[in-house]
Structure 1
């Protein structure tokens, strides 16, 4: 890992409530963050939480739609979703699994529920690509839950989807390692009241999303409760106190510090490139 000022504690600098919205063909979800001033989340672009016991909230799914210029990371806690894309990939995302898709120069895919009842609960994170990587060929990977490292601590356990960190003095390495943005993506499941110390390299963007229970952040003990995102300061280690039966995501990455131009499913560096993506899609050349 890169350097970290272990004598400093990262502070909570912004608290954001998730907002109810819908996407796809009417799927009800929570938009945790996105939109204006996107640079403060760099290299991340958006996080959605979807979760409902009612099939009416998710059954219409996400019919075929395009993307260009970034990656989508879908983490399914519970439920079944089928992915299909223009490359001929078909994958079933189910309880505990991850779908990591690099849209690159272009992908057209669908994400459709493979259940008609029961709970569906998960997250989709958008991760930006560097300018020089945006037009790379699209690729796709299904990661089964058996391939995701699960690390147990006294009072809590984590699933390490991506990246590297040190948690309560134990080095943790996730399944996926990316060179440019160095994303860390970790799911914490807390059984008992727990003090948690996390070391992440300085100058990385660090986000915490509490989706169950509550956590106290930093030595200031600022509270994050259900459906709240916290953005932390740039330097130092992370100090948390997590209540019993809490669950939260740790998301961290190295900023690209490049211009962000976004229009719906396209994320480029200039609006001229966005206009080109739209023309390519309209002309059937997005994925060519």
Structure 2
């Protein structure tokens, strides 16, 4: 029986927003109580590539609770420091998958590449209610530890998930994610089998292509930058005449209520109120 090809439910044009100490970002979506992209909460595309932007501004010390933040760098680097005593750099091709759990304070400060560029992404992934108050942890993955796999006509950097017997280095995540950086040369076809129940997102950040069809059977042809949200199904099929590069992101939805408030995503308003009390009382970060 032929596998069902997923259709495109929504095309999101990312919008410019300002976060941190005045950082200009392209944001595809942000946390909301409707939680339409469960288990994914936020996706930001950051690029500082114009000298007129002046000195880089970053993200001074700020808290997180109840989520995971995933930083993936392509150019430039981000200096990271946190309340657990960690200090380091996320450089080109590196990934940091941070599970904030019950609470962490951290800062992220970008610096340009020798060519004057910064390019990367940040994804927020929800935690199920049972894990929101667990201990914080990190999976810091250097570029050399991320396998690059030829798959059909595409080249994949495999951060999380598996293909052809090769697994990405990020493991033991509740959402069971797939997180791929896909480079698809001109004239090639990319077809990927998906868990039919998983949420599937594709963020196109270079080039253009045919990313399937909509519910009416009309071809979906898009150009970067944009986020595509897919309906349920077993496969996704993408073609390009001119070349394209995109992030493919999938994960298991938790189907639990959420209550987001700034950098916190909990299950109820009462849990958010407790989070704010913990910040005021100095009990937010535990040894």
In 2, distance between residues paired with 1:145 and 1:177? 16
SS of structure 2 residue aligned to 1:287: coil
Is 1:25–1:61's contact at 8 Å kept on the other side of the alignment?
Answer: yes
Partner of 1:21: 17
Unaligned runs of 5+ in 2: none
Distance in 1, matches of 2:34 and 2:158, equals 25
1:94 equivalent among 83, 91, 94:
91
Q: 1:222 to 1:58 in 2, by over 3 A?
A: farther
Name the residue aligned to 1:228: 226
Q: Map 1:146-165 onto structure 2 (within 5 A).
A: 146-153=144-151, 155-164=153-162
Match of 1:111 in 2: 108
Q: What's the counterpart of residue 60 of structure 1?
A: 57
Alpha-carbon shift at residue 223 of structure 1 (Å): 1.6
**Counterpart residue number, 1:79:** 76
Please name the residue that 2:205 is paired with.
211
What is the TM-score of this pair, normalised by structure 2? Answer: 0.92
Q: Judging changes above 3 Å, is the alpha-carbon distance between structure 1 residues 124 and 6 closer, same or farther for their aligned structure 2 residues?
A: farther
Structure 1 gap segments, 5+ residues each: none
Partner of 2:280: 282
Q: Normalized against structure 1, the TM-score is what?
A: 0.91
User: 1:173, CA displacement in angstroms?
Assistant: 2.5
Q: Which string of whole-angstrom CA distances, capped at 9 and with x for unpartnered residues, describes residues 170-190 of structure 1?
A: 455222123521011001112
Go from structure 1 to structure 2 and tell me whether the alpha carbon gap of 1:155 and 1:14 turns closer, same or farther (over 3 Å shift).
same
Q: Is residue 2:194 matched to residue 1:200?
A: yes
Instruction: Output the aligned Cα RMSD.
Output: 1.9
Q: Would you say the 8 A contact 1:6–1:237 is kept in 2? A: no
**Counterparts in 2 of 1:57 and 1:257: CA distance versus 1, 3 Å:** farther
Once residues 12 and 172 of structure 1 are traced to their aligned partners in structure 2, the CA distance between those partners, rounded to angstroms, is 28
What is the distance in 1 between the residues matched to 2:165 and 2:34?
30
Residue 122 of structure 1 corresponds to which residue in structure 2? 120
Residue correspondence of structure 1 range 255-270 to structure 2 within 5 A: 255-270=253-268
